[in-house]
Amino acid sequence: MANYQNVTNIITDELTATLSNINDNDVEQLLEKINKADKVFFVGVGRVLLSLKSIAKRLAHLGVNTYVVGQTTEPAITENDLLIVGSGSGETAFPLIIAQKAKQYGASVAHIGSNPNSSMSEYADVSVRIPASSKIDTPEEVHSVQPMKSLFEQSLLLLGDTIALMMVKERNIEIESLWEYHANLE
């Protein structure tokens, strides 16, 4: 029978191994793009999209104008904006089409994925590699015992929280002041 503590340790060990192998410079380049953008758009599918929506929400708390592609109030993307694509394989059709479209409008594109040699690399101005198990399964990846791409999706969410905390520290934001941006129609 699976023991809660043993399974928790397996998951946190996988996350530590994955997050500690993300390239610092790539994350700093992404943060620079976020800071320069007028608006930051997010696109992905499935559980990756759920992680991206969480990142968009957290960055909105920090004053970033964030939008998820397809949401009802999504504005036009321009050359002053950034599209962040979450796709482990970098081959998922919908995000690829949206990245191509964003480039047509002159927007910057950032890809967060596990496959640096994917089709998405054709469109990405910045790439952050999360070395988690994917459909491709390369030797440099952290192999996971978790179902499907859970490690990638978890790492993506934690990468977003890491970027948010970097922004808080960079901007000397007092954490308590962020509550004024939190949803209040609860």
- Residues with catalytic function: 153
112 close to 85: Cβ distance less than 8 angstroms? yes
DSSP assignment of 58-120: HHHHTT--EEETT-TT-----TT-EEEEE-SSS--HHHHHHHHHHHHTT-EEEEEES-TTSGG
Distance between CA atoms of 5 and 134, rounded to whole angstroms? 25
84 close to 42: Cβ distance less than 8 angstroms? yes
DSSP tag of 135: S
Three-class SS state of 7: helix
Three-class SS state of 50: helix
| 10-37 burial code (b ≥16 CB/10 A, e <16) | ebeebbebbbeebeeebbebbbebbeeb
